[in-house]
Homo-oligomer: A and B are copies of this chain.
Amino acid sequence: MKAIVTVGLKPGVLDVQGKAVANALVDLGFGEVADARVGKVIEIDLKGQDRDAAHAKVKEMCERLLANTVIESYRIEIA
Protein backbone atom coordinates (compact mmCIF):
# COMPACT_ATOMS: atom_id res chain seq x y z
CA MET A 1 0.00 0.00 0.00
CA LYS A 2 1.19 3.53 -0.66
CA ALA A 3 0.67 6.57 1.57
CA ILE A 4 1.25 10.08 0.28
CA VAL A 5 1.92 12.68 2.97
CA THR A 6 1.98 16.36 2.05
CA VAL A 7 3.59 18.64 4.63
CA GLY A 8 3.43 22.41 4.40
CA LEU A 9 3.85 25.45 6.59
CA LYS A 10 0.66 26.55 8.34
CA PRO A 11 -1.06 29.67 6.98
CA GLY A 12 0.48 32.69 8.65
CA VAL A 13 3.93 31.16 8.99
CA LEU A 14 6.39 33.06 6.80
CA ASP A 15 7.54 30.81 3.94
CA VAL A 16 10.90 32.25 2.92
CA GLN A 17 11.56 29.45 0.44
CA GLY A 18 8.22 30.12 -1.22
CA LYS A 19 8.91 33.86 -1.36
CA ALA A 20 12.30 33.14 -2.96
CA VAL A 21 10.68 30.91 -5.58
CA ALA A 22 7.99 33.52 -6.33
CA ASN A 23 10.59 36.29 -6.68
CA ALA A 24 12.80 34.12 -8.89
CA LEU A 25 9.84 33.31 -11.16
CA VAL A 26 8.90 36.98 -11.47
CA ASP A 27 12.56 37.82 -12.22
CA LEU A 28 12.53 35.17 -14.97
CA GLY A 29 9.62 37.01 -16.60
CA PHE A 30 6.65 35.13 -15.15
CA GLY A 31 4.84 38.27 -14.07
CA GLU A 32 1.58 36.35 -13.51
CA VAL A 33 3.00 34.74 -10.36
CA ALA A 34 1.37 36.34 -7.30
CA ASP A 35 2.75 34.05 -4.59
CA ALA A 36 4.28 30.63 -4.05
CA ARG A 37 4.54 28.26 -1.13
CA VAL A 38 6.88 25.29 -0.89
CA GLY A 39 6.21 22.08 1.00
CA LYS A 40 7.32 18.47 1.13
CA VAL A 41 5.69 15.35 -0.21
CA ILE A 42 6.65 11.98 1.26
CA GLU A 43 5.58 8.75 -0.46
CA ILE A 44 5.70 5.80 1.89
CA ASP A 45 5.43 2.15 0.79
CA LEU A 46 3.69 0.20 3.52
CA LYS A 47 3.35 -3.51 4.14
CA GLY A 48 -0.17 -4.63 4.99
CA GLN A 49 -3.61 -4.18 3.45
CA ASP A 50 -5.78 -2.44 6.07
CA ARG A 51 -6.39 1.13 4.89
CA ASP A 52 -7.75 2.43 8.20
CA ALA A 53 -4.86 0.93 10.16
CA ALA A 54 -2.42 2.38 7.61
CA HIS A 55 -3.98 5.84 7.94
CA ALA A 56 -3.69 5.71 11.74
CA LYS A 57 -0.06 4.59 11.54
CA VAL A 58 0.87 7.30 9.04
CA LYS A 59 -0.83 9.93 11.22
CA GLU A 60 1.40 8.78 14.08
CA MET A 61 4.46 8.98 11.77
CA CYS A 62 3.53 12.57 10.91
CA GLU A 63 3.16 13.57 14.55
CA ARG A 64 6.40 11.89 15.62
CA LEU A 65 8.75 12.52 12.68
CA LEU A 66 7.46 13.84 9.38
CA ALA A 67 5.92 17.17 10.39
CA ASN A 68 6.80 19.84 12.92
CA THR A 69 3.23 20.39 14.07
CA VAL A 70 4.09 23.69 15.73
CA ILE A 71 4.51 25.34 12.34
CA GLU A 72 3.51 22.69 9.79
CA SER A 73 0.26 21.00 8.82
CA TYR A 74 0.00 17.69 6.97
CA ARG A 75 -2.43 15.82 4.75
CA ILE A 76 -2.51 12.05 4.31
CA GLU A 77 -3.75 10.14 1.27
CA ILE A 78 -3.79 6.36 1.20
CA ALA A 79 -3.48 5.14 -2.41
Chain A residues with CB under 8 Å of chain B are 6, 8, 18, 21-22, 24-25, 28, 30-48, 54, 57, 60-61, 64-66
- Whether the Cβ atoms of B32 and A64 lie closer than 8 Å is no
What are 8 A-B pairs with beta-carbon distances under 8 A?
A21-B42, A25-B61, A25-B65, A28-B65, A30-B60, A33-B44, A34-B46, A40-B41
Q: A30-B57, A30-B61, A61-B30 are in contact. Are A36 and B25 (CB under 8 A)?
A: no
Interchain CA distance A9-B47 in the complex, whole Å: 22
Output the least CB separation between A2 and chain B (Å). 10
Q: A28-B64, A64-B28 are in contact. Are A38 and B36 (CB under 8 A)?
A: no
Q: A24-B65, A28-B65, A30-B57 are in contact. Are A8 and B41 (CB under 8 A)?
A: yes
